[in-house]
């Protein structure tokens, strides 16, 4: 069979000079998505990727069919009680998006049975996202907020993937649209208690949410601008804004944060013209979160302890000097959040690398108002646990979400007084799924500097470390984001093909506390990459993966990790998938007009003004460090409308790889696949997402020689 020739991007060098160093960039011209030649090049790359993988169509179909056959397509979430209503979301077979609905709630009555996924008696559909998104190439919801009086809904949608949303406000009693004039907003929208006013965020030219506006509902002109009032503007380009509401609905909450510093404001949700009140002015390097708890505030902060403590303050507090100690984190712990209910507080934390929940009980005999209770205990050694959607304050039981690599996502109702537990919903896995047919393990791998890196490994039961198995390794390792255990129906298609699936919890993430993050950022960023390479080599050396059968995958900042790792150790991997990869990091972080720049300087450093940071980033940025060596087969995937990591980064990277590496394109191809109507998260809708996963995994599995299920026949066409 004659293989098609890959596209060859024209080289039009542009010189970038900083701190006495010049870099000649031959592919920067690919940045302009409005240039027909750029679009033509992306189309040619897509055509090449399709032609080069055409033989994998039966494998793709097999994986897609496996995912679909294991998924209960008509299904529903657990109903969440709020006032006179039960709120929930239903999915219908054949539908890509959810149907948001509610049904009447009788005091003392049972929670509605949604196990069939079908409508219940007296159901009111609030938003049929499936109907609204039907026929669109892309569809996403950015806000969904019901007023505290349950009469008004505000929702926003994005139909291009650029994460700019248009708002719609609906009267839930009549079903009529009250306002659809507020457009081009950022994430989130919150209504005042009576639904008369809506708060939204606005973004600047660098996509940074930098303003909070409020609009009297129904009074906007064609673009909504003339009727709005600016509530808060953040001038410091390191900070982003977000909005929410307190659990008791009394306050609109505004949070501002950089990578290392935060500040919070409260606005009276009963007063449509109230001004915002600062809880405590920002202090450089101090992060804090706020929970409204009746007549006081609960505050998780790192002012005195990098892994955070819990404090309380009067509700009227406007300075950190009012904060009073309540609970300190112990060695090996990191406090991450707090939720207050009438008689209990639930503290979210990390302990020994995993998530955990700790209870505090109401005690009016002490100044703080609470005393330490107990930790919620779960059986599996490796798991993820967190609070679910709990809309009401006055409750003795809460919804908790639990899952592991083997246990599907489960919603439990836990009585905080007695610890009595009821499983309300466990994501169904159709077919013959048996959790005992798989095993999850925790490994520890020594990094080059001697630090022990935790690794999660999932295999089929009976798999032994005999050096013969294909492997799939993934990681993220930035922004203190933790890659916690989660259940995945699509992952079963890898495991059932004999693949050993591993997650490297590398430094730069938050798995092991704040210091774990700090050891993988700024001038310590290379630890993220060397940790990953050490894990890859350990999987082979220990026999869990064959030497020539290891795949690696990562997205966004995890794509930077993939690009850096293959430059460091191209021989360690047979194939890699880099999804929306941040592989031209230095070019981006040098340009303050781009979204991933000024706000990112606290994550990566400021190479524009600091020559040492420039040299350090230049030493690892993937695009500028490609070697003339044999590399793994490479699949880079991106989206034309991605506003976080521009499509140009993987496009330039692929062009430079083809021009530099010593790969035989027949054996180790380098592919670029661009979604022409999508954003940072790829294609929207569950069926399109399954198709995308099947396409990507078929390429990876083909390179690993693992396209056929273990013990199975040929893939189904």
As given in the structure block, the two tokens for residue 149 are 């009086």
pLDDT at 682 (0 to 100): 74
Strands 21-25 and 550-555: unpaired
As a whole number of angstroms, the distance between CA 489 and CA 342 comes to: 37
pLDDT at 421 (0 to 100): 97
Q: Reduced to 3 states, what is the DSSP secondary structure of residue 290?
A: strand
As a whole number of angstroms, the distance between CA 715 and CA 708 comes to: 6
Q: Which residues of 43-63 are buried (b: 16+ CB within 10 A; e: fewer)?
A: eebbebbeebbeebeebbbbb
Could you tell me the strand order of the sheet in which 354-362 lies? 333-340, 344-351, 354-362, 370-375
pLDDT at 717 (0 to 100): 32
As a whole number of angstroms, the distance between CA 623 and CA 16 comes to: 14
**Selection from 136, 154, 128, 189 nearest residue 684 by Cα:** 136
Helix, strand, coil % in the chain, rounded to nearest 5 = 20, 35, 45
Q: What are phi and psi of 194, to 5 degrees?
A: -90, 5
Q: Which residues of 439-458 are buried (b: 16+ CB within 10 A; e: fewer)?
A: bbeebebebeeebebbbbbb
State which H helix or E strand residue 425 sits in: strand 421-426
**611-620 and 526-541 helices cross at what angle (nearest 10)?**
20
State which H helix or E strand residue 348 sits in: strand 344-351
As given in the structure block, the two tokens for residue 270 are 């009963």
- Dump pLDDT digits (tens) for 407-455: 999 999 999 999 999 999 999 999 989 999 999 999 999 999 999 999 9
**Selection from 280, 270, 273 nearest residue 229 by Cα:** 273
pLDDT at 595 (0 to 100): 75
As a whole number of angstroms, the distance between CA 559 and CA 646 comes to: 13
As a whole number of angstroms, the distance between CA 413 and CA 49 comes to: 47
pLDDT at 223 (0 to 100): 53
Residues with Cβ within 8 Å of 448's Cβ and at least 6 positions away in sequence, in order, are 530, 534
Q: Which residues sit opposite 24 in a β-bridge?
A: 15
Supply the residues annotated as catalytic. Answer: 556, 642, 680
As a whole number of angstroms, the distance between CA 524 and CA 616 comes to: 9
As a whole number of angstroms, the distance between CA 528 and CA 106 comes to: 53
Q: CB of 177 within 8 A of CB of 149?
A: no
The count of C-alpha atoms lying within 13 angstroms of the C-alpha of 407, restricted to the half-sphere facing its C-beta, is 19
Residues with Cβ within 8 Å of 60's Cβ and at least 6 positions away in sequence, in order, are 691, 694, 695, 698
pLDDT at 594 (0 to 100): 84
Task: Give me the domains of the chain, ranges plus CATH numbers.
Answer: 14-68+432-704 (3.40.50.1820)
**Residue ranges, the chain, pLDDT below 70:** 1, 220-226, 596, 711-717
């Amino acid at each position: 069979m004659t293989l098609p020739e890959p596209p060859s991007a024209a080289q039009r060098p542009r010189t970038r000079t900083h701190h006495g160093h010049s870099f000649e960039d031959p592919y920067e011209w690919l940045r302009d998505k409005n240039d027909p030649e750029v679009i033509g090049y992306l189309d040619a790359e897509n055509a090449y990727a399709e032609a080069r993988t055409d033989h994998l169509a039966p494998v793709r179909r097999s994986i897609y069919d496996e995912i679909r056959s294991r998924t209960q397509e008509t299904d529903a979430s657990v109903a969440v009680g709020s006032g006179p209503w039960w709120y929930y979301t239903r999915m219908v077979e054949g539908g890509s998006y959810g149907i948001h609905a509610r049904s009447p709630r009788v005091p003392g009555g049972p929670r509605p049975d949604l196990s069939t996924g079908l409508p219940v008696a007296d159901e009111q559909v609030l938003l049929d996202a499936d109907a609204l998104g039907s026929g669109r190439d892309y569809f996403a919801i950015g806000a969904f907020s019901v007023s505290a009086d349950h009469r008004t809904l505000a929702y926003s949608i994005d139909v291009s993937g650029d994460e700019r949303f248009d708002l719609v406000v609906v009267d839930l009693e009549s079903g009529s649209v009250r306002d659809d004039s507020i457009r081009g907003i950022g994430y989130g929208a919150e209504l005042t208690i009576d639904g008369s006013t809506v708060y939204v965020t606005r973004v600047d030219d660098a996509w940074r949410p930098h303003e909070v506006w409020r609009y009297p509902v129904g009074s906007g002109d064609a673009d909504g601008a003339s009727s709005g009032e600016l509530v808060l503007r953040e001038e410091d380009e390191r900070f982003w804004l977000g909005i929410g509401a307190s659990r008791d609905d009394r306050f609109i909450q505004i949070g501002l944060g950089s990578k290392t510093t935060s500040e919070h404001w409260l606005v009276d949700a009963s007063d449509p013209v109230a001004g915002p009140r600062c809880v405590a002015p920002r202090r450089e390097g101090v992060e804090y979160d706020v929970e409204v708890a009746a007549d006081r505030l609960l505050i998780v902060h790192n002012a005195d302890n990098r892994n955070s403590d819990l404090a309380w303050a009067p509700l009227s507090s406007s300075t950190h000097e009012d904060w009073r100690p309540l609970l300190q984190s112990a060695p090996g712990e990191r406090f991450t959040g707090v939720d207050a209910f009438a008689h209990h507080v639930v503290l979210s934390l990390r302990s020994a690398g995993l998530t955990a929940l700790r209870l505090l009980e109401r005690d009016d005999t002490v100044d703080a108002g609470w005393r330490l209770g107990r930790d919620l205990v779960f059986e599996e050694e490796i798991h993820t646990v967190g609070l679910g959607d709990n809309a009401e304050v006055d409750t003795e039981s809460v919804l908790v979400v639990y899952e592991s690599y083997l246990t599907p996502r489960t919603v439990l109702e836990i009585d905080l007084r007695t610890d009595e537990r009821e499983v309300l919903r466990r994501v169904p896995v159709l077919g013959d799924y048996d959790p005992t047919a798989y095993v999850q393990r925790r490994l520890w791998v020594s990094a080059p500097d001697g630090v022990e890196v935790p690794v999660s490994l999932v295999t089929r039961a009976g798999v032994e470390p005999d050096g013969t198995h294909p492997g799939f390794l993934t990681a993220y390792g930035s922004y203190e984001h933790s890659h916690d255990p989660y259940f995945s129906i699509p992952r079963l298609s890898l495991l059932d093909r004999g693949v050993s699936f591993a997650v490297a919890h590398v430094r730069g993430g938050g798995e092991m506390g704040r210091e774990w993050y700090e050891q993988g950022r700024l001038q310590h960023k290379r630890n993220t990459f060397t940790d990953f390479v050490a894990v890859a080599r350990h999987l082979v050396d220990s026999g869990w993966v064959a030497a020539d059968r290891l795949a690696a995958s990562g997205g966004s900042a995890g794509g930077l990790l993939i690009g850096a790792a293959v430059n460091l150790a191209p021989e360690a991997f047979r194939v890699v998938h880099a999804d929306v990869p941040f592989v031209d990091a230095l070019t981006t972080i040098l340009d303050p007009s781009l979204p991933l720049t000024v706000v990112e300087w606290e994550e990566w450093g400021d190479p524009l003004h600091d020559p040492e940071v420039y040299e350090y980033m230049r030493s690892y940025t993937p695009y500028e460090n490609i070697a003339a060596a044999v590399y793994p087969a490479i699949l880079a995937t991106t989206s034309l409308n991605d506003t976080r990591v521009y499509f140009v980064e993987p496009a330039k990277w692929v062009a430079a790889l083809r021009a530099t590496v010593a790969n035989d394109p027949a054996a180790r191809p380098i592919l670029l696949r661009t979604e022409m109507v999508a954003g940072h998260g790829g294609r929207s809708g569950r069926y399109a997402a399954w198709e995308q996963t099947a396409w990507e995994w078929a390429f990876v599995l083909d390179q690993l020689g693992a396209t056929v299920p273990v013990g199975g026949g040929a893939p189904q066409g």
